[in-house]
Amino acid sequence: MAIGVFDSGVGGLSVHRALVDRLPQADFLYLADQANAPYGGKGGEEIVDLTREGCIRLFDQGASLVILACNTASAIALRRLQQTWLPTYRQSLGRAVNVLGIIVPTIEAATGLPWEHEAERRGDKVERLDVLGVFSTPGTARSRVYEIEIDKRRQDVAVFSEPCPDLAGMIEANAAPQDLLAKITAHVLALSQRIGRMPDRAILGCTHYELVADLFRQALPAGTPLIHQPVATAEAVVRYLAQHPEYDPGKSGLRRFLTTGEPGAQNDLVKAFWGAPLSFDAA
């Protein structure tokens, strides 16, 4: 058995890398749905359907646990799939399978509070507001998942989302770093104008953006802390596996990279992030 990692494209590699760092012996299957990327501007039903198809491919290839290394799929599809599809699918397969997302661990990291925690609303005056900027796809921003879930836990944290409609597509298309920096700078400015100042901290709420995290660091005020979603996710998966021995992550160190799109070498942005050329096989 193996751990499946799913994204619309190459963004989930950021999560894959953090998972491999924490679970080097485990077997990993990575699936990029590049035939249908980007997901961020698609409607909810289409994202649910594509995410379900991706999970089925990974389970068919031997995954026991699938990590949705995609904020858009985690925000829009995960709950629906867990509630309405997984229970019967699991029965039909006759083995333990599950799908986990990356937003819960990110919110835990951003708030310092476990998912179960609900803040007591005492109406206390908040002395100093911690302003958190979330850069994401339009789909994730529309879901308001970060605003809603963080507000439940921390009244002293204000969340402002900045949808970045073209950015994941530009990263998939190997855009030039200066064009990406110009786009990211424009988004940082737009967000800061809406807030009235720069954010105190930021979440790169689309896994593709991790591949160009340095460009976000350049565009944000020096030293702005970035909540590191891949590491938060990897820590959560390690804890989950320790509590759920029914999901077998394998132990032969397998690494397979599959795409629904054009197989072959991935682009220069991926190569720079990965530190070596990376090639995907046909799914």
Set 110, 170, 206, 269: catalytic member: 206
Tell me how far, at minimum, the Cβ of 34 lies from ligand DGL, in Å: 9
DSSP three-state, residue 102: coil
Tell me how far, at minimum, the Cβ of 3 lies from ligand DGL, in Å: 18
In the residue annotation, 164 being an active-site residue is answered as: no
In the residue annotation, 206 being an active-site residue is answered as: yes
The contact pattern for ligand DGL, residues 100-139, with x = CB under 6 A and - = no contact, is: -------------------------------------x--
Cβ contact 61:1 at 8 Å: no
Is 168 among the residues that bind ligand DGL (CB under 6 A)?
A: yes
Is 206 among the residues that bind ligand DGL (CB under 6 A)?
A: yes
Tell me how far, at minimum, the Cβ of 177 lies from ligand DGL, in Å: 19
The residues near 186 (Cβ < 8 Å, ≥ 6 apart) are none
Q: In what order do the strands lie in the sheet with 157-163?
A: 157-163, 130-136, 201-204, 226-227
* C-alpha to C-alpha distance for 198 and 224, rounded to whole angstroms: 9
Give the number of other CB atoms < 10 A from CB of residue 39: 26
Looking at the Cβ atoms of 1 and 13, the one nearer to ligand DGL is 13
Cβ contact 211:273 at 8 Å: yes
Is 150 among the residues that bind ligand DGL (CB under 6 A)?
A: no
Please list every residue from 15 through 54 that binds ligand DGL, using CB under 6 A: 37-40
Cβ contact 165:137 at 8 Å: yes
Please list every residue from 64 through 93 that binds ligand DGL, using CB under 6 A: 70-72
28-32 and 63-68 beta bridge pairing: unpaired
Cβ contact 63:96 at 8 Å: no
Q: Indicate which residues carry an active-site annotation.
A: 70, 206
Chain residues in the site for ligand DGL (CB under 6 A): 7-9, 11, 37-40, 70-72, 137, 140, 168, 206-208
